[in-house]
Amino acid sequence: MCGIVGYVGGRPCRDILFRGLRKLEYRGYDSAGISLIHKGRFDLLHSVGNLDRLESVLHQMENGSTVGIAHTRWATHGRPSNENAHPHTDCSGRFAIVLNGIVENYLALRAELEVEGHSFTSETDAEVVAHLLERSYDGSLREAVAAAFQRMEGHFTFVAVTIEEPETIVAVRKETPLVVGLGEGEYFVASAVSAFLAETRTVIFPDDAELVVVTRGGVEVTTMDGLAVEHAPEVVDWDEDAAEKGGYETFMLKEIHEQPVALADTLSQRMSRDGLVCLDGLGITDDEIRALQQVVIVACGTSYHAGLVGKYALERWARLPVEIDVASEFRYRDPVMGPNTLCIAISQSGETADTLAAMRAARTAGARILAITNIVGSQVTREAHGVLFTRAGLEIGVAATKTFLTQVLAVQLLSLYMGQVRETVALDKVRALTDELRHIPTLLNSYLDSGPAADIERVAAAYAKNRFFLYLGRNIGLPVALEGALKLKEISYIPTESYAAGEMKHGPIALLEDGSPVVVVATDSHVYDKLVSNVQEVKARGAHVIAVASEGNVGASVMADEVFYVPAVDEMLSPLLGVVPLQLFAYYAAKANGESVDQPRNLAKTVTVE
Ligand code: F6R
């Protein structure tokens, strides 16, 4: 996440940059900063907290400069603090940069630079870029940026300025957004069009690994080797609201499409070169993991469904007894646990009152606590012994989508890691699974790019007037069914029941009548044949079956009335793909019924009450 904006032109730009940040605030707001080039030196301003805090100190900065860069941060590496806020500078104070994304090899680069005598002032991955520029600068910022880019691994966009070339900004991207705004004698670079939409609507969208050099004279785009690249300017006709949503009609749809990047960010630096899982800084030692006798998972809502995936994964790979409960129930139980119990608390916001209370109850009962959360500095991080961060970026849609997927990935990584440490899963198996995991962001990206939405929208519109849906799944498919059903009920208000398919005959089957829609999670698994028998039982009662199945399953279209195919992966990883068509299905059903998708009634993004 993070939002970045830069300006070169003829007007004093302090306030222009600040207004740009305001439009990017949805991308993160734990700290912010601006750097202007003024009278041959940098004028720098940082503040911790949201943009109101930066605004309250903005007057400390003169508004005379016509070149500058600015950043609003969503912390990944290093807590929110003045030191970690961007822009970052080098040792000589001649270069300043802002960065969005993750520099995966920053530790190696930092070590290399420190040996050469560079000293660092922050804990961030981004600061290495300023020092790389300092090291390679030889009269051309463009060339120094190219040299830095070629040393960096990961996915990021960065924008650099130097007092040596006070009228120039250079920007480059790799798998994260960058847009250039073309005004009258003034130019903008930003993470999203919304940052400068009030100033210009003429834009170019550079590709990965292209160098964008912006001066008052214009914008030049080149390859790394200096060959000119032409991008025809486009005029965006989005309104400001749509621009913040990156052109998507809602935040939820945007966030569904951000899932490949969210997964890639969450995977970043968590797999070693030899294919094993490495979770440095977990806060729970390997000896503690070896001594564990029990795991207890507590969470609420969608996070509880991610926890259920964790139950299957931990049992299979770490061979530990796993108990899971919704936090609001757990907190009032009298659980039996001790020092060899690990309590995993999952909360995207890190502030859910019930989850915090459940953590405290587990702690009082003697357990070690590991929190999985998306928010650096949130309350769960303060109260847990250890933390595993998801890196989904800020989620604005009330219905959780990308945070769910990254929680699922986090529990899978944790389970594999614990299996590795406890020697309960063969290392070859770990390697095979991490190899699959590495490819899942790309698979999901191709899946979303292949345009499944049109078909899903058609089916959702056809069924949206039904007043009841039954969702079924078995084994690792069950949490996917539960999550799909929750998504539908919370944004479309259609009552749903979600059940373990084998349990359906013990009651819920009575709800079915001719034409009742039944959504079945039928991705490939060792219980697939059992699930097919359950599907026959619902079909015999006249139900219409909508299935999520793995590509290549030719029988699925015989079994079901409608099939949403997803790429086939190891069954334990299948929730990472299988839930996505169900998110889209819920989305389009709500849309067909004219509901407010991003702000469903009665719900809140952070539930800090009991
Ligand atoms: C559903 C949803 C909620 C949350 C639940 C827990 O889309 O978002 O069910 O999952 O309120 O919230 P966190 O994860 O913040 O503890």
- Predicted confidence (pLDDT) per residue in 150-195, tens digit: 999 988 999 999 999 999 999 999 988 899 999 999 999 999 888 9
pTM exceeds 0.75: yes
Band the pLDDT of 606: cuts 50, 70, 90. low
Band the pLDDT of 610: cuts 50, 70, 90. low
Range of lowest pLDDT (109-118, 245-254, 472-481): 245-254
Do 205 and 273 belong to one domain?
A: no
Report the residue among 298, 348, 402, 408 best suited for mutation to probe ligand 1: largest number of ligand atoms under 8 A from its CB. 348
Task: Compute the distance from residue 304 Cα to the ligand 1 centre, in Å.
Answer: 8
Do 270 and 232 belong to one domain?
A: no
Protein residue with its CA nearest to atom 13 in ligand 1: 347
Residue 1, pLDDT score: 67
SS3 132: helix
Residue 609, pLDDT score: 66
Judge whether 604 lies within some domain: no
Judge whether 145 lies within some domain: yes
Do 545 and 421 belong to one domain?
A: no
d(C-alpha 442, C-alpha 576), whole Å: 12
DSSP code, position 543:
P
Of the three residues 244, 274, 295, the one that is the final residue of a domain is 244
* Pair 231, 197: CB distance under 8 Å: no
Judge whether 597 lies within some domain: no
Active site annotation includes 2: yes
| Residues 6 or more apart whose Cβ sits within 8 Å of residue 80 | 30, 31, 48, 49, 73, 376, 377
Do 427 and 468 belong to one domain?
A: no
Domain range spanning residue 486?
451-592
Give the residue with greater pLDDT, 20 vs 607: 20
* Pair 390, 348: CB distance under 8 Å: yes
* Pair 258, 393: CB distance under 8 Å: yes
Judge whether 599 lies within some domain: no
Tokens of 35: 């750097």
Task: Compute the distance from residue 539 Cα to the ligand 1 centre, in Å.
Answer: 33
Protein residue with its CA nearest to atom 15 in ligand 1: 349
Task: Compute the distance from residue 325 Cα to the ligand 1 centre, in Å.
Answer: 14
Residue 288, pLDDT score: 96
Do 422 and 329 belong to one domain?
A: yes
At 63-98, the pLDDT tens digits run: 999 999 999 998 888 889 999 999 999 999 999 999
Would you say the C-alpha torsion 260, 266, 269, 270 has a positive or negative sign? Answer: negative
Range of lowest pLDDT (4-13, 175-184, 294-303, 358-367): 175-184
Number of separate domains in the chain = 3
Do 436 and 479 belong to one domain?
A: no
Judge whether 610 lies within some domain: no
Residue 598, pLDDT score: 86
Mutual orientation of helices 402-422 and 427-449 as an angle, nearest 10°?
170
d(C-alpha 373, C-alpha 371), whole Å: 6
Indicate if ligand 1 lies below 6 Å from the C-beta of 390: no
Report the residue among 300, 394, 602 best suited for mutation to probe ligand 1: largest number of ligand atoms under 8 A from its CB. 300
Residue 239, pLDDT score: 74
Do 367 and 463 belong to one domain?
A: no
At 430-469, the pLDDT tens digits run: 999 999 999 999 999 999 999 899 999 999 999 999 999 9
- In the block, tokens 């605004």 appear at 55
Q: What average pLDDT does this structure show over 136-158?
A: 96
3-state helix, strand, coil in the chain (%, to 5): 40, 20, 40
Do 492 and 357 belong to one domain?
A: no
Range of lowest pLDDT (7-21, 340-354, 372-386): 372-386
Mean pLDDT of the chain: 94
Do 495 and 522 belong to one domain?
A: yes
* Pair 74, 391: CB distance under 8 Å: no
* Pair 562, 460: CB distance under 8 Å: no
> H-helix or E-strand containing 31?
strand 31-38
Do 223 and 144 belong to one domain?
A: yes
Indicate if ligand 1 lies below 6 Å from the C-beta of 357: no
Report the residue among 250, 252, 302 best suited for mutation to probe ligand 1: largest number of ligand atoms under 8 A from its CB. 302
Residue 375, pLDDT score: 83
Band the pLDDT of 605: cuts 50, 70, 90. low
Read off the CATH number of the domain in which 563 is found. 3.40.50.10490
DSSP code, position 474:
-
Indicate if ligand 1 lies below 6 Å from the C-beta of 484: no
Band the pLDDT of 603: cuts 50, 70, 90. confident
d(C-alpha 320, C-alpha 260), whole Å: 30
Q: What average pLDDT does this structure show over 231-253?
A: 85
Task: Name the H helices within 493-541.
Answer: 528-539
Task: Compute the distance from residue 83 Cα to the ligand 1 centre, in Å.
Answer: 32
Q: Pick from 47, 145, 46, 45: which is nearest to 95 by CA?
A: 145
At 29-65, the pLDDT tens digits run: 889 999 999 989 999 999 999 899 999 999 999 999 9
| For residue 281, pLDDT beyond 90 | no
Neighbours of 351 (CB within 10 A): 17
At 545-562, the pLDDT tens digits run: 999 999 999 999 999 999
| For residue 25, pLDDT beyond 90 | no
Residue 567 CA from chain centroid, whole number: 20
Three-state secondary structure string covering 261-283: HHHHHHHCCCECCCCCECCCCCC
Residue 433, pLDDT score: 98
Do 328 and 200 belong to one domain?
A: no
Residue 543, pLDDT score: 96
Indicate if ligand 1 lies below 6 Å from the C-beta of 303: yes
Judge whether 238 lies within some domain: yes
Residue 247, pLDDT score: 85
Q: Pick from 48, 30, 35: which is nearest to 6 by CA?
A: 35
Active site annotation includes 13: no
Do 268 and 119 belong to one domain?
A: no
Residue 106, pLDDT score: 95
- Strands of 540-586, DSSP E: 544-550, 562-566
Task: Compute the distance from residue 348 Cα to the ligand 1 centre, in Å.
Answer: 7
Band the pLDDT of 608: cuts 50, 70, 90. low
